[in-house]
Chain A
Amino acid sequence: MKAATFLAALALGAVSLAAGAAVAADGPTLAAVKQRGHLMCGGDGTRPGISAPDAKGEWGGFDVDFCRVVAAAIFGDPTKVRFIALTTVQRFPSLQSGEIDVLSRSTTHNLTRDAALGFDFSPITMYAHTALMVHKDLGVKAGKELDGASVCVPPGTSIERNIADFWQQNNIKYKPVVIDNQKELNETYLAHRCDVIANFLPGLATIRAYQAAKPEDHVILPDVLLKEPLAITFRQGDAQWKDIVSWSVYATFEAEEKGLTSKNVDAALKSKDPEIQRLLGVTADLGEKLGLPKDFVYQIVKKVGNYEEIWEKNVGKDAPLKLDRGLNKLWRDGGVLYSPPFQ
């Protein structure tokens, strides 16, 4: 009886190997996503405006919309995406193991992650930096006054390293308080367990706007600790997938540059401008070169929006966060968003 069980297990194993080989030969992530019928996207899930489910369980936010951009590009339907909430510690193993197809979780692009962790990155979706937020009643004006402070930090992040560097550069000391669950970490700061909470700037803004009882009790210090270029992360070794995600992101830049919004894109289909005709797939088949429908840019803009719309709706002037776009403006407006041509 036992032997039978084991033989069954053995057979199962053999089948699994065969099945694995079959899928591997078929290759790319795109095939798996299409077969499944939806994109699997890892997100934070605790940051309103960036990535969080609302009261009805519907996910929304800046990071979330970029997953919807990719889903719209593939399926022409931004709802064909399932979200998984991941902590900082869970996010990379989850991506490595194939549980998710893309990680859109305010993840910083750096060399180690690119080279040693086996990841690739989309173009930067948000240029941010590590900043510090303190309780106002401490009367602190700058980071270097924080000698001996307790600092709440998310573990296993670039923020954690930036903090270590910053305090060392200023030759002062601190006590890290490290909790994996971002919501618990925020609670810990808000309960005054920490004097300071460190995060990328929009992250701090969400804590202040959504989780603090009195937002005016918290000050974000002017210090810029380190660059945090945030991008969509995915597994290395699938060139087609990298192209799909990258050009989906570029499409949001390009649409803003060409003045295409979700409201006017239908009218723009009839535009005489050859660049717009090419971009929206009226005349060219750019999408098909990526393995996508011809009109993938149209789908993105129509169903989700251009970069400006995504920004303003989630973190900009139409949202409680009211973040300034800063570097996240088009190159012609003094920012660094710049899409290679859609040709």
Chain B
Amino acid sequence: MVEAEARRLVPRALSLDNETVRAVVLQVATAAAIVAALYLLGTNAAHNMARQGIVSGFGFLSQEAGYDVGESWIAHSARSTYARTLVVGLLNTLYVSAVAIVLATVLGVLVGIARVSPNWLLRKVSAGYVEIFRNTPLLLQIVFWYTVMRQLPPPRRALQPIEGVFLSNRGFTHPVPTWDPAHGWMLAAAAIGIGAAIAYRRAARRHHERTGRRWPVLWPTAALVVGLPALAWLAGGSPIGLDVPRMRAFNFQGGTTHSPELVALLIALVAYIGAFIGEIVRFGIQAVGSGQREAARALGLRDGHALRLVVLPQALRIIVPPLTSQYLNLVKDSSLAVWIGYPDFVSVTNTAINQTGQAVEGIFLMMLVYLSISLSISLFMNWYNRRIGYRR
């Protein structure tokens, strides 16, 4: 004790016992080690590649790719550049992630509510679902669903649960409305409706804060968001044309087909991440505590109001951070698409790596893209989290 005291009081200027010296030495050593490691790895790679005559750099991005991609949201052919081909893969990743996030959230919220339902049977069934899907590897689930999809009958003998809707080993095919100018008006009306609904809810909140009286919220919102497009549809002559898929030669023509790879990946991602979200929602609701609900009821709030005004805002604050990490997991997990051949970013980049031999560049691009997506989601959710946080 005394010795230690003495040591601290009389720091020896340039010895490792001096905390400042130690800090500097440690940090310089760390920096040196990192720089040295990077330098060694870099020179090794450069040396290896030069020795073998591998052309490095990102020049390949502007060359013609020469191969087709099965699914694309933008015009793409074998004549497109590698850059464009990679964008096709990126859009596919974003698409499958976005759809899965929405569906998994819906499923998760339903499951979470079912988990705390007063109904014993529902509670047990939802608990069983969560346990099974959360405790099985995602890749196993993807492989399983893909095998299921592949074992469906071929398109000529496709299952037809509803007239015009087909399930076959070419995927899930359904009719889409044939394009009509009225659809444009409907989109515009929906946009206006959503804007108006937001404005109305703001006004309602201000009114509530000023007078303590509530305007009805649910019905006017629904009327604006659903009613306006419906009116536009009626005004546009209520077009009911449907592009119905028909079997032609090898595949369905018309309608929209979602490939088996996409469907299998979506089912697996939604079922898996949905189970996790269900647990988060359950935890969030239970954490609010029954006292809050009872207090709200004591104040005379109806059950719906109590849930919407008292329980949910508090639960959301607990739910959002873990929910964010589930969304991030989902985006990253979508890369498992590579195993079943859905042309996501990893899969398309893999092909590019093999055609060009630019493995280092390809992996670098993969990491860059996923880092950017992860960062964007984190930033957005942080912003949202602040917004719903305690207002001071």
> Per the CB under 8 Å rule, do A and B touch in the complex?
yes
Task: Name A's B-contacting residues (CB within 8 A).
Answer: 2-3, 6-7, 9-10, 13, 16-17, 20, 24, 88-89, 91-93, 96-98, 112-113, 115-119, 138, 146-150, 155-157, 160-161, 163-165, 168, 174-181, 184-185, 187-188, 191-193, 195, 235-237
Contact B78 A179 (CB under 8 A): no
B window 18-38: CB within 8 A of A: 25-26, 29-30, 32-33, 36-37
B188 neighbours in A (Cβ, 8 Å): none
Asked if B129 is an interface residue, CB under 8 A from chain A, the answer is no
Beyond known contacts A96-B48, A118-B49: 8 more, CB 8 A cutoff: A96-B359, A116-B55, A116-B356, A149-B250, A164-B67, A178-B341, A180-B350, A237-B53
Contact B26 A155 (CB under 8 A): no
A165 neighbours in B (Cβ, 8 Å): 78
Indicate the member of A112, A115, A177, A193 with the most B CB atoms within 10 Å: A193
A157 neighbours in B (Cβ, 8 Å): 354
Mask, B240-262, CB within 8 Å of A = 1, is 00000000111101000001110
Given contacts A6-B29, A13-B37, A180-B341, contact A193 B169 (CB under 8 A): yes
B119 neighbours in A (Cβ, 8 Å): none
B26 neighbours in A (Cβ, 8 Å): 2-3
Question: In the complex, what's the smallest C-beta–C-beta distance from A232 to chain B, in angstroms?
Answer: 16
Cβ contact of B33, chosen from A9, A92, A97, A184, cutoff 8 A: A9
A89 neighbours in B (Cβ, 8 Å): 350-351, 353-354
A185 neighbours in B (Cβ, 8 Å): 341
Asked if B310 is an interface residue, CB under 8 A from chain A, the answer is no
Contact B354 A161 (CB under 8 A): no
Question: In the complex, what's the smallest C-beta–C-beta distance from A336 to chain B, in angstroms?
Answer: 27
B169 neighbours in A (Cβ, 8 Å): 191-193
B window 31-55: CB within 8 A of A: 32-33, 36-37, 40, 44, 47-49, 51-55
CA of A138 to CA of B253 in the docked complex: distance in angstroms?
17
Contact B33 A6 (CB under 8 A): yes
CA of A96 to CA of B52 in the docked complex: distance in angstroms?
8
Given contacts A96-B359, A179-B341, A235-B52, contact A138 B250 (CB under 8 A): yes
CA of A161 to CA of B352 in the docked complex: distance in angstroms?
12
Chain B residue at smallest Cβ distance from A234: B52
B window 310-357: CB within 8 A of A: 338-341, 343, 347, 350-357
Given contacts A148-B253, A150-B170, A165-B78, contact A118 B33 (CB under 8 A): no
Contact A118 B52 (CB under 8 A): yes
Question: In the complex, what's the smallest C-beta–C-beta distance from B318 to chain A, in angstroms?
Answer: 36
Asked if B154 is an interface residue, CB under 8 A from chain A, the answer is yes
B338 neighbours in A (Cβ, 8 Å): 180
CA of A237 to CA of B53 in the docked complex: distance in angstroms?
8
Cβ contact of A92, chosen from B40, B68, B251, B354, cutoff 8 A: B354
Contact B351 A161 (CB under 8 A): no
20 A-B residue pairings within 8 Å (CB atoms) = A3-B26, A6-B32, A9-B33, A24-B47, A92-B353, A116-B356, A117-B357, A118-B49, A118-B53, A148-B249, A148-B250, A149-B250, A150-B250, A156-B350, A168-B78, A177-B259, A178-B69, A178-B351, A193-B170, A237-B51
Asked if B389 is an interface residue, CB under 8 A from chain A, the answer is no
CA of A113 to CA of B358 in the docked complex: distance in angstroms?
12
Chain A residue at smallest Cβ distance from B54: A118
Contact B78 A178 (CB under 8 A): no
Question: In the complex, what's the smallest C-beta–C-beta distance from A235 to chain B, in angstroms?
Answer: 5
Chain A residue at smallest Cβ distance from B69: A176
Question: In the complex, what's the smallest C-beta–C-beta distance from B257 to chain A, in angstroms?
Answer: 9
Question: In the complex, what's the smallest C-beta–C-beta distance from A4 to chain B, in angstroms?
Answer: 9
Contact A161 B66 (CB under 8 A): yes
Contact A117 B54 (CB under 8 A): yes
Mask, B170-209, CB within 8 Å of A = 1, is 1000000000000000000000000000000000000000
Asked if B151 is an interface residue, CB under 8 A from chain A, the answer is yes
CA of A180 to CA of B349 in the docked complex: distance in angstroms?
12
Chain B residue at smallest Cβ distance from A94: B359
CA of A308 to CA of B66 in the docked complex: distance in angstroms?
36
B67 neighbours in A (Cβ, 8 Å): 155, 160-161, 163-164, 176
B window 66-111: CB within 8 A of A: 66-70, 77-78
CA of A78 to CA of B355 in the docked complex: distance in angstroms?
32
Asked if B134 is an interface residue, CB under 8 A from chain A, the answer is no
CA of A174 to CA of B253 in the docked complex: distance in angstroms?
12
Cβ contact of B66, chosen from A2, A113, A164, A176, cutoff 8 A: A164
Complex A-B, nearest 4 residue pairs according to Cβ-Cβ distance, in ascending order: A156-B354, A164-B78, A118-B52, A117-B357
CA of A116 to CA of B49 in the docked complex: distance in angstroms?
11
CA of A95 to CA of B170 in the docked complex: distance in angstroms?
36
Contact B359 A149 (CB under 8 A): no
A181 neighbours in B (Cβ, 8 Å): 339
CA of A165 to CA of B77 in the docked complex: distance in angstroms?
11
Asked if B150 is an interface residue, CB under 8 A from chain A, the answer is yes
Contact B251 A175 (CB under 8 A): yes
Question: In the complex, what's the smallest C-beta–C-beta distance from A169 to chain B, in angstroms?
Answer: 11
Indicate the member of A118, A148, A161, A185 with the most B CB atoms within 10 Å: A118
CA of A168 to CA of B29 in the docked complex: distance in angstroms?
59
Contact A148 B251 (CB under 8 A): yes
CA of A150 to CA of B169 in the docked complex: distance in angstroms?
11
Given contacts A149-B250, A156-B353, contact A176 B70 (CB under 8 A): yes
B69 neighbours in A (Cβ, 8 Å): 176, 178
CA of A96 to CA of B50 in the docked complex: distance in angstroms?
11
Indicate the member of B47, B54, B248 with the most A CB atoms within 10 Å: B54
Cβ contact of A147, chosen from B249, B339, B341, B350, cutoff 8 A: B249
Contact A193 B150 (CB under 8 A): yes
Given contacts A2-B26, A156-B353, contact A237 B70 (CB under 8 A): no
A193 neighbours in B (Cβ, 8 Å): 149-150, 169-170, 260
B51 neighbours in A (Cβ, 8 Å): 237
B356 neighbours in A (Cβ, 8 Å): 112, 116-117
Contact B341 A148 (CB under 8 A): no
Question: In the complex, what's the smallest C-beta–C-beta distance from A2 to chain B, in angstroms?
Answer: 6
CA of A24 to CA of B67 in the docked complex: distance in angstroms?
38
Chain B residue at smallest Cβ distance from A195: B250
CA of A139 to CA of B25 in the docked complex: distance in angstroms?
77
Cβ contact of B70, chosen from A10, A178, A235, cutoff 8 A: A178
A6 neighbours in B (Cβ, 8 Å): 29-30, 32-33
A147 neighbours in B (Cβ, 8 Å): 249-250
Chain A residue at smallest Cβ distance from B168: A192
Question: In the complex, what's the smallest C-beta–C-beta distance from B154 to chain A, in angstroms?
Answer: 4
Question: In the complex, what's the smallest C-beta–C-beta distance from A225 to chain B, in angstroms?
Answer: 14
